[in-house]
Every structure is written in C-alpha cells, then in structure tokens.
Amino acid sequence: MTSVLRRGLLCAALLLSLSACDRGGGAEAATSAKPAPKQAVTHQTPSELGEIRVTEIASGLEHPWAVALLPDGGFLVTERPGRLRRVAADGAISAPIGNVPQVWAKGQGGLLDVVLAPDFAASKRIYLSYAEPGPDGSAGTAVAIATLGDSALSEVKVIYQQQPKLVGPNHFGSRLAFDKSGHIFITQGERQQRMASQELDKLQGKLVRLNLDGSVPADNPFVGRKEARPEIWSYGHRNMQSLAIDPRTGTVWEAEHGPRGGDEINLPQPGKNYGWPIVTHGIDYSGLKISEAEGKEKPGMEAPYHVWEVSPALSGMAFLVEQPASEWNNSLFLGALADGSLIRLTLEGDKIVKEERLLKPLGWRIRDVRVSADGKVYVLTDEDEGKLLRLDPPAAK
C-alpha cells in the first residue's frame, strides 16, 4: 500500500469518526439539559408604533409547539417530537420532563399544547394535548392532565381521546383554553377527512367542550342526541391551531387553517356549523376547487368572523387587553407560519379594525404566542433550532 493511499484511508477514517461524534452530540442535546445563554441576543425590528425590542430567551428547541408561562417567571415548552421542558427565566433549558404520554410524532403529529390548570398555584396540574397512537398506524388528538414535578409528571390521566382514530399524518389541531365556568375547550383538525367535519358521530373537525375532569357538561348542545357526540360544542371546522378566550367578555375565539386560501377566525357558538368543506374561501393545494365546496356561504352555515383570502397559516392566539399603559392594548395576536410573522389585530370591542404584521424582517415561522399579566408578549419559532422570544411593546409616546 502506498503512503498516499494510507494517508487517504486515515483521513477518511477520521472524517467518519468526526461525523459519528456529531450525530451522537445531536442525540445527547435532545435529551439533556442546556445551559442558559451567556448573553441574551436581542433584535430591534420596526412596527407602526415604533421599534420593538425582541429578546431571545432560549434557543435550540426542536420544533417547539407551545409555551406556558409559569408563576416563577419560567416557562414550560413542548417540543413536537414528544419532549416537555422547563425553560428558566435566564434561558436555561432543562432535560426533558419524565412521564409524558406517548405521542405519535409523525407529520404534524406529536406533543402539541400545554396549559396550566386554573388552580395551578395550588394543584401544580397541567393539561397537554398531543397526537395519540392507535392500532394499525392510526392516531388521533388526545388530552391528558398531570401533576408537574421538578423532573417528571405524576398522576397522568387521559381525559379526552378523539374518536375514531384515523390513518394519516396531518390536521390534529390542537389548542386548549378554559372559560370561567369550569370548562375546557379543545380544538382539533379533521385529519384531512374533509366530510368528517360535518358528521356529528365523529369528533374530527369539532370544537369540544368538557368539564375540567374530562366529563361532558350537561348543557352541551348535542347531549341526548343519539346520532351526535355529546362532547361537541361546534362543528364544520378544518384544522384549528389557535384558541383564546377574551378575558373582557368570556367570548371564545378560534382560528383555523384554510386549504390554499381561506384561513379564518370564528367566534364559535354552541351547536353551530362553520361550514368546512361545504363553505370555504379557499381552493385545493392543486389549484382546483374543493370538490365538496358549494361556495363561500350557504344558509344554515356560519360565515367566518374574519377571513384571509391568502393564507398566513395561523397558529397560536393571545389577547393583550386591559393594559391601558401599553401601546398594544386591545390587541389580538396570532402566529403565522407561512407568512413568517406575528399578526396583530387591533380591536374595538369585538370588532377588528386594523391589521399589522410584526417580526417579518427576522424571517421566522411563528408557532405560538402568549401574553403575560404585565403585557409582555412571548413567541415560539417553529424551526429545527426553535427559539423562545420576548417582545417588549414600543415605548408609549
């Protein structure tokens, strides 16, 4: 063997070794704790009301899907592959919290929303939504309640399971929100079985309302009807990834993905039909008409409260209200994935009077948005190396 060939083989072996080390490091990073950044990265980005200061609290999160704000100033963050992590106020990221339910992490499925129970300060309970595996490669949206410990969950109980479970990788929803009367609302998708949204014996494409323990409220609109699931609050929805309850009025707001065009906001009322796929402002991704669609409106079906003819791809929703000192008071925020922005809708009561798109110069897909009690806005970016951001509103003029 010549010396040149020996050197070539040694170099190749060294490169393979380094490549293996890189792969091992990536796997370790996914399962271990990550230290706080030595210095927070900040950005200045324009808005109609002045410069916004954007602070990167944490980075290196794998497709983070939802963030919950903890009373101690820290955060809980879900990563779609199935990990739940604590993020400290200084940006340190914990190792994955143990005993999270098994998730079906394919396509759009995985670990999805996380919210604190209304009595979290006393109970330490949280709610998680996720894609739950079923038989023969099927899956469906599910919700579990658990007690949050320092490093693991305990008393994990599944309180909701979408039925029937279906095969396919997309349209699971799913966001969670509480009203002030002891109910939890659960958004879902129709699992790309379009007409399932119209079939009341199925839970796909439905907004569900349950009691906090998962039981069915006696006053749900379809209780007692043999052909309908009693969990259903409203139906005819496509893929709802945004949900919030207006703290001023208690009104439920949800936003959902249209197909190619036709993303919409609805204020769902009990028992009402919101039309998908019979009524839509969108078309198929192929460019053809949705085969079941009959137009943009139809008697007996509710028109969207607000619609985008070009889809920003909405995910996450939060109100910033009752903050008179904030330049963003009376705003509704929505994350936009395809548009790479944070949408701010200015409200007068329930009326949407103006739209502004924030963060576009930074070029990030925005997956979730939450607002703290002091009016700070927190955002997750949907990336392989996703970020948790804090937005400080423009200074008052």
Structure tokens at 228: 């309908």
φ, ψ of residue 283 to 5 degrees: the values are -125, 175
Known catalytic residue: 171? yes
Half-sphere exposure at residue 150, Cβ-oriented, CA atoms within 13 angstroms: 0
Q: Which of 43, 63, 171, 257 is catalytic?
A: 171
Residues 204/188, Cβ–Cβ less than 8 Å: yes
Exposed e or buried b per residue across 323-333, where buried means at least 16 C-beta atoms within 10 angstroms of its C-beta: beebbbbbbbb
Distances (CA, A) of 106 to 84, 116, 170, 308: 17, 26, 8, 28
Structure tokens that stand for 296 in this block: 């943009």
DSSP string, 168-221: -S------EEE-TTSEEEE--B-TT-GGGGG-TTS-TT-EEEEETTSPPPTT-T
Q: What is the DSSP string of 264-310?
A: EEE---TT-B--TTTB-S-B-TTSSPPTT--BS--TTSPPPSEEESS
Contact 303, 266 (CB under 8 A): no
User: What tokens were used for 131?
Assistant: 């894609």
User: 197 and 276 in contact (C-beta within 8 Å)?
Assistant: yes
Residue with tokens 């699971």: 172
Cα 88 from chain centroid (whole Å)? 21
Q: Which of 131, 126, 175 is nearest to 154 (CA)?
A: 126
Q: What are phi and psi of 216, to 5 degrees?
A: -90, 125
- Please tell me the distance from the alpha carbon of residue 238 to that of residue 206, in angstroms, as a whole number: 8
> Containing H/E element for 319?
strand 314-320
Catalytic positions, written as ranges = 171
